[in-house]
Chains A and B, each alone.
Chain A
Amino acid sequence: MNLIEVRNINKYFYQPTKMQVLNDVDLDIEKGHFVSITGKSGSGKSTLLYLLSTMDTDFEGSICINGEEMQGKRNRWLADFRNHHIGFVFQFHYLLPEFTALRNVMLPALKLARYTPAEIEHRAMDLLQLLGVGTQANKRASLLSGGQQQRVAIARALINEPLIIMGDEPTGNLDSQNAAIVFDLFRELSSERGQTILTVTHDDDFARRSDKVIHLVDGRIAD
């Protein structure tokens, strides 16, 4: 079953001059797969990821996630969709620095409000423990190390049980030891929990060990 179906995507940048970044991209991502998008810088891999993330709405073509068309949807609807179905892990951690690690993990769930705040706290704690940062739960995010922050970010991405986790070079800013831990986490989530994972990476090692690699060259998918 295809979780994501992308048809005939064209994407242009208008600054400084009009330039085509993605050219007739078609792709399918199956549920439970661990997919990597690779390519040189400027090949359009991040652009593709942000289109799939529903945050970038300026494109031609069609993106279907879980059977829902993303083209032409309103901001509020897309925000709600992201809240329900997409978890993000970014290169530079991007935790909210004034909040505790626990609070960071809880925020998307508090927004979703599917569970009571007490239940959410409990679940967030479980996730932090699962990712090995349970002892850091009540520390402010800005006080954690890079590897710890990234694990908190993964916990946050998982809290709403999303259909898909998207990563923008999630190991790009980590030393090799932490990168290995994060990669193993992704691998585990994918194989044991059946979690769909889509990451942009230029780490060949990372890409080679994923289920599927989408390689972009100059805005097209190379075979």
Chain B
Amino acid sequence: MKLITNIKLAATIAFTHMRARLKQTLIATAGVTFGITVFIFMVSFIQGSNDFVQAVAFEQSPHLRLYNEIQTAPANIIDRTYPGNINLVSHVKPKDILLNLKDGPQVVQALQQDPRVAAVSGAVSSQVFYRLGSSSINGTINGIRFEQENALFNLQAKLVEGSFKELATLPNSLVVGIGLARRLNVKTGDRLEVTTDKGNNFSVKVVGIFKTGLTDIDKQQSYANLHTVQRFLEVPVSYITDIKIKLHDMELAPAMLPELQAKYGFHGSDWKQDNSALLEGDALRKMIVYGVAVTILLVAGFGIFNILTMMIYEKMKDIAILKAMGFSDTDIRWIFLVQALIIGITGALMGLVFGFLAAYGISKMPYKSDVMITLDHLPVSFSAVYYVTGFTFGMLTTTLAGYLPSRKAARVDPITILRG
């Protein structure tokens, strides 16, 4: 109780001091405000862009992928036959295996029952040549069931012209990436030739053009019906090469991967592995934002430090007289700490408001991008976490900037001053 009245008294003295130096106080507050504003603005904008780029990339990347890969056998047959001997085999060559997933359609069905799984799609993908006239372009053809694949990747939203529906009804139909369409100069309704790696030629009709925003995909991929591609490759209807899985909680992916691999014996990867460079870039950008924000806040902190230090030099006499009256060192410390805290809290709150307004402002700014078709305004994140962090940062720096001078004030020796 006594402590509270003491702090209250210190606060009223602090207020009087600040009112007497209104201009300096406002400048110090503006410093903190500016620091927090820039932090909120930058972090919102950068996080918004990160989120957007991630969303684009992750929309094309399943949470889990199961596939087969050509690999050198880990142990050779002589080792297995004569385990005790030292066997040397030079130039082991990888075995030619079928790239299909054994019992793929059954695995897809089993995974659909898994409560953690939101959507599963079994697909065939293969390297092909797209040919039109004398030109031929290397690329990938994906044989999909549209309903399954759409549940994972929201393909419908990426369609620029034509339709995916015709894939199932029209034999030998294809939806091509926009980059690929441009290179081949084809439109919806045009025909082109597809050559498989076994040398078979098929004439196909373009029924649609899609755009994901990822150049790699748009320039060389196409979608066709699962059975169409199986027919191109001369494989049975049970032949699928990729199982793509979308989970309800994507964070579970790294833990689920080994479980599925052990269960089915396929290779696999999760979204974190597939997008490690993107995630790393994310972390680095965030570090830069925090670095800049901390620097700005440090500068603001120095502002507060300076103003309080100056004020303490001006107020030496007052400090001495207050001590003579019976104010303890702690009371004196509170007087100056309260000033720093008021500057800090006001500055930080105003910074949050201005930061929000600035972020809101640019989020309404129209922005057209050739690469990111779904983008019409600048992407901005309004996550509350950054507001809490910004406020905490602001409070920490101002408290520290106030604490050091206030300690100095508490140590003022009243006698040297009162004696003149």
User: A-side interface residues toward B, CB under 8 Å?
Assistant: 46, 50, 53, 55-56, 75-76, 79-84, 86, 88, 90-92, 94-99, 103, 107-108, 110-113, 156, 160, 168
Provide a sorted-by-A list of 24 A–B residue pairs whose CB atoms are within 8 angstroms: A46-B419, A50-B415, A50-B419, A55-B323, A55-B418, A76-B329, A79-B323, A80-B326, A82-B326, A88-B324, A90-B321, A91-B420, A94-B317, A94-B324, A95-B321, A96-B322, A98-B17, A98-B19, A108-B325, A108-B326, A111-B9, A111-B327, A112-B326, A113-B2
Are A83's CB and B325's CB within 8 A?
A: yes
Those 9 A-B pairs whose CB atoms lie nearest each other, nearest first: A83-B326, A79-B328, A82-B326, A98-B20, A108-B325, A76-B328, A94-B321, A88-B324, A50-B415
Task: Select one of B20, B327, B330, B418 contacting A90, CB under 8 A.
Answer: B418
Q: How far in angstroms is the closest Cβ of chain A from B6?
A: 7
Q: How far is the CA of A196 from the CA of B225 in the complex (A)?
A: 107
B411 CB to nearest A CB, Å: 10
The answer on a CB contact under 8 Å between A75 and B329 is: yes
| Cα(A217)–Cα(B264), bound, Å | 104
CB–CB A79/B2 < 8 A: no
Closest Cβ–Cβ distance, residue A82 to chain B (whole Å)? 4
State how many angstroms separate the Cβ of B307 from the closest Cβ of chain A: 16
Residues of chain B within 8 A (CB-CB) of A56 are 415
CA distance A214 to B329 in the complex (A): 32
When C-beta atoms are compared, the residue in chain B nearest to A50 turns out to be B415
Tell whether A79 pairs with B9 under 8 Å between CB atoms, given A88-B324, A168-B418: no
Residues in B with CB closer than 8 Å to A94 are 317, 320-321, 324, 418
Which of B19, B322, B325 has the most A CB atoms < 10 Å from its CB?
B325
Q: Is B139 interfacial (CB 8 A cutoff)?
A: no
A55-B324 contact in complex given A94-B317, A98-B19, C-beta closer than 8 Å: yes
Q: Which residues from A are CB-within-8-Å of B325?
A: 82-83, 88, 107-108, 111, 156
Question: Are A80 and B20 neighbours in the complex by a CB distance under 8 Å?
Answer: no
A111 and B331 form a contact (CB under 8 A):
yes
Cα separation A111 to B331 with both chains bound (whole Å) = 9
- The interface bits of chain B over 233-276 (1 if a CB of A lies within 8 angstroms of the residue's CB, else 0) are 00000000000000000000000000000000000000000000
Query: Size band of the B side of the interface?
Result: 20 to 34
Residue B16 CB within 8 A of the other chain: yes
Find chain A residues with CB under 8 A from B323 CB: 55, 79
- Is B147 at the interface (CB under 8 A from chain A)? no
Determine the chain B residues whose CB is within 8 A of the CB of A95 once the complex forms: 321
* CB contact between A96 and one of B321, B328, B418, B419 (< 8 Å): that residue: B321
B9 touches A110 (CB 8 A): yes
Chain B proximity of A58: nearest CB distance (Å): 10
Closest chain-A Cβ to B25's Cβ sits at a distance in Å of: 13
B415→A79 contact, CB < 8 A: no
B318 within 8 A of A: yes
> Which chain B residues numbered 279 to 332 have a C-beta less than 8 Å away from chain A?
317-318, 320-331
Distance between A49 CB and nearest chain B CB, rounded to angstroms: 10
Residues of the B chain whose Cβ atoms lie less than 8 Å from the Cβ of A55: 323-324, 414-415, 418
Chain B residues positioned under 8 Å from A75 (CB to CB) = 328-329
Instruction: Determine the distance from Cα of A209 to Cα of B325 in the docked complex, in whole angstroms.
Output: 27
| Minimum CB distance partner of A142 in chain B | B20
Question: What chain A residues lie within 8 Å of B326 (beta carbons)?
Answer: 79-84, 86, 108, 111-112, 160
Nearest Cβ in chain B — how far from A168, in angstroms? 7
Query: With the chains together, A5 CA to B330 CA distance in Å?
Result: 29
Name the residue of chain B whose CB is nearest to the CB of A83. Answer: B326
* CA–CA, A112 and B329, complex, Å: 15
The answer to whether the Cβ of B81 comes within 8 Å of any Cβ in the partner chain is no
A113 CA to B20 CA in the complex, in Å? 25
Residues of chain A within 8 A (CB-CB) of B85 are none
- Expressed in whole angstroms, the minimum distance between the Cβ of A68 and any Cβ of chain B is 15
B169 at the interface (CB under 8 A from A): no
Q: How far is the CA of A66 from the CA of B324 in the complex (A)?
A: 18
